[in-house]
Structure 1
Amino acid sequence: MTRIVPAEWEAHKAIWLGFPSHGNLWQEDLIPAQAEVAALARVLAEMGDEHVKLMVMGDEARAAAETLLGDVKKVEIVDGRFGDIWFRDTGPIYVADDADEDDLHQALPVGFQNNGWGGKYHLKFDDEVARQISEADGFASTTEDFILEGGALDHDGRGTVLTTRQCLLNPNRNPGWTQSLAEQALFQSLGVRKVIWLDDGMLNDHTDGHVDNLARFVAPGVVACPVAFGRDDPNADVYDATAKLLSAQTDARGRPIQVVRIPSPGKVTDEDGEIIPASHMNFLIANDCVVVPIYEDRPGELAVEALQSLFPERQVLGLSSRAILTGGGSFHCISQQVPLIKA
């Protein structure tokens, strides 16, 4: 019996979301970011057939969440402690026993060491998020002895993962890691059977190139990645290099990777004119829908249409994520799914 991480498109028992709760971090973006997260939670519950577990920290954050979501069923507001809302990175990854390939049993949460994204963002309580989520879901906390953020990996549910060398082999995470050592650690902890290594992530991504902004499995053997939008797209070369590398790969079962290009948002800047890592690839796959982050100056219709063709059995829709992006991430970054596994 071996371990495996179920694909995000497989059935969920619940989805965890982090609710912006720290005024000192979010400042003038706190209320807009809370509104965007609440809108996401509402869509996941009402259109995505999800049980949403929305973690808040403090009485003021709980009151804000209750005001925004008081009439929404299937959203459970959970009190907790966290540094910020990036639960994809600080929460656990659920791993199932792969008894007979597609016959999955007993998903258990696995946590990892956290060093604040390579020492850049040490926030109090972030190292407690995985334990809190695990215990709230009824499991004992298990923590591996190496540093890993969930957004650094994307899984096909069959033992293949995507990652970037820029992040996973960065000496600010696990000094001395080689590709071989990283693959061994991922095999032992998550049952990974093959790693597809990409190179660099997006420009100015403070996660050091998390793959969930760059390339995502949308089905076994099928990977979506961006194509540049506009002549001034700052990531055009990275996108093309990623697509070229992927097209030459096979997955853990020897299946050639099919690459589907999704229009990017193009060049998106902050209020100071600095390029920010806005990505439609940070979409979230729910039971009955797919939610794509969009940005107020880039509507995102082309990306939504392209992804709809890849998820014909789910409704694909775009929601604003501009305020959340000021914190450095988007919908996939603030979420973590709990797979629904056979007893």
Structure 2
Amino acid sequence: MPAEWEPHEGTWLSWPRREGISFPGRYDAVPALWRAMVTTLATGEHVYVNVGDEAQEAEVRAVLFGHEAVARTALDASAATSLATTVRGDRVSLHDRVSLHRIPTDEPWCRDHGPTFLVRDGELTLIDWRYNAWGGKYPPYDRDDAVPSRIAELLGVRAFHPGIVLEGGAIDVNGRGTVLTTESCLLNPNRNPSLGRAEIEAYLREYLNAPHVVWLGAGIAGDDTDGHVDDLTRFVAPRTVVTAVEADPADVNYGPLRENLHRLRAAHDQDGRSLEVVELPMPGAVEWEGQRLPASYANFYVGNEAVLVPTFAHDNDAVALDVLRRCFPGRRAVGIDATALVWGLGAFHCATQQQPLAVHT
């Protein structure tokens, strides 16, 4: 499995449904965020969008191609200006770089229900993990579970079927043989109750070509996935990770994130070399109707030309953007207000799935 910062052929997203459960009573604020993701990423790669039927396809086309204005309220000013210029000046390019596919989904979290793409001997392949909506929490999920096989059929690529439950947000790789994950998720009995640590490591080694696993502990408050690593710690280079750290000792996330920081400082990569650990702040408590939401800057997504960074109208937004700009100096770090997105308990990494560039496609 290539690292996320390695060249992409494209990025996959699943368009949200008004009747879905992710954004109850809040859907109207969401399509502009998907448009912001698509237009930002399309400057550097193809964007594949899953839609359910003719009616949803018409809705998506209207949002993406029906007007030239970029939703400036969702983007920081400089990014909005750049994207507006790009779309106005090269509308054909946007059409050419975005394609819609009739692959119905239950919810829009393509990181978790989508395939894990691999490059094997220069050839694109994918893994079709089993999917059970984060431990059976949100039935029905049969359409989501079918997405990888539908994409494999569409692309004409080989699919591997490990037969275990695993979501894309539960793992993060350096592309060299090390994978990050959490005990609270991958060892949770609501996923694979008959499998222990050694068995899970064997699957990761066999299917991801990742012989070394760095285990973190628990996730952040409000995360209904039981602690996905993509809200906590991410590889930004083969030996470097950024990890979320809460500065307020009174915050519920302080202890778990401090424990993960200690584990990372003692960890090593597949070659036995210590990891370089860069601290990423947290945005404080983001709540909706008294419910703590899993807001984290670690849920960024690395595209070919841009890094999508969730922001939350907090003083630490600028700090997080600066950290990630320094981690990815050849890319634009684009801050997009993700408050409406985290109402659905996810952010940009949760909504995207990279398709790596392969020699043979």
SS at match of 2:284: coil
Residues 165 and 192 in structure 2, CA contact (< 8 A), matched pair in contact too? yes
Gaps of 5+ in 2: 66-90
Gaps of 5+ in 1: 98-103
SS at match of 1:94: strand
Aligned residue among 11, 20, 23 for 1:15: 11
Write out aligned runs for 1:182-331 (5 A): 182-230=200-248, 232-270=250-288, 272-296=289-313, 300-331=317-348
Aligned to 1:89: 112
Alpha-carbon offset, residue 227 of structure 1 = 2.1
The alignment status of 1:116 with 2:142, answered yes or no, reads no
For normalisation by structure 1, the TM-score amounts to: 0.92
Structure 1 residues 191 and 40 mapped into 2: Cα distance closer, same or farther (>3 Å)?
Answer: same
Give a deviation string over 1:45-96, Cα, whole Å, max 9, x none. Answer: 12xx010001112333222221221143311122211111111111111122
Alpha-carbon offset, residue 6 of structure 1 = 0.3
- 1:160 & 1:21 partners in 2: Cα distance? 35
Give a deviation string over 1:91-129, Cα, whole Å, max 9, x none. Answer: 1111223xxxxxx61121111111221111122411111
Aligned residue among 170, 179, 204 for 1:152: 170
Aligned to 1:75: 98
Aligned residue among 26, 29, 37 for 1:29: 26
Alpha-carbon offset, residue 296 of structure 1 = 4.1
Amino acid at match of 2:11: I
- 1:93 & 1:313 partners in 2: Cα distance? 25
Alpha-carbon offset, residue 291 of structure 1 = 0.8
Aligned to 1:56: 51
SS at match of 1:146: coil
Q: What is the percentage of aligned positions where both structures have the same residue? A: 37
The alignment status of 1:44 with 2:41, answered yes or no, reads yes
Structure 1 residues 311 and 138 mapped into 2: Cα distance closer, same or farther (>3 Å)?
Answer: same
Residues 125 and 159 in structure 2, CA contact (< 8 A), matched pair in contact too? no
What is the RMSD of the two structures over their aligned residues, measured on CA atoms? 1.6
**Pairs aligned (count):** 330
Alpha-carbon offset, residue 234 of structure 1 = 2.8
Structure 1 residues 24 and 211 mapped into 2: Cα distance closer, same or farther (>3 Å)?
Answer: closer
The alignment status of 1:333 with 2:328, answered yes or no, reads no
- 1:178 & 1:193 partners in 2: Cα distance? 16
- 1:296 & 1:60 partners in 2: Cα distance? 34
- 1:28 & 1:58 partners in 2: Cα distance? 22
Structure 1 residues 14 and 24 mapped into 2: Cα distance closer, same or farther (>3 Å)?
Answer: closer
Amino acid at match of 2:228: H
Structure 1 residues 306 and 187 mapped into 2: Cα distance closer, same or farther (>3 Å)?
Answer: same
For normalisation by structure 2, the TM-score amounts to: 0.87
Amino acid at match of 1:13: E
- 2:128 & 2:57 partners in 1: Cα distance? 26
Give structure 1 regions of 4+ aligned residues with deviation exceeding 3 angstroms.
229-233, 296-299
SS at match of 1:278: coil
Residues 41 and 303 in structure 2, CA contact (< 8 A), matched pair in contact too? yes
- 1:229 & 1:54 partners in 2: Cα distance? 38
- 2:216 & 2:241 partners in 1: Cα distance? 12
Amino acid at match of 2:240: V
SS at match of 2:188: coil
SS at match of 1:10: coil
Residues 20 and 61 in structure 1, CA contact (< 8 A), matched pair in contact too? no
Residues 281 and 316 in structure 2, CA contact (< 8 A), matched pair in contact too? no
Give a deviation string over 1:118-146, Cα, whole Å, max 9, x none. Answer: 11112241111111122222224432211
Amino acid at match of 1:95: L
Alpha-carbon offset, residue 157 of structure 1 = 0.3
Residues 291 and 316 in structure 1, CA contact (< 8 A), matched pair in contact too? yes
Give a deviation string over 1:230-255, Cα, whole Å, max 9, x none. Answer: 56543122221111110111100222
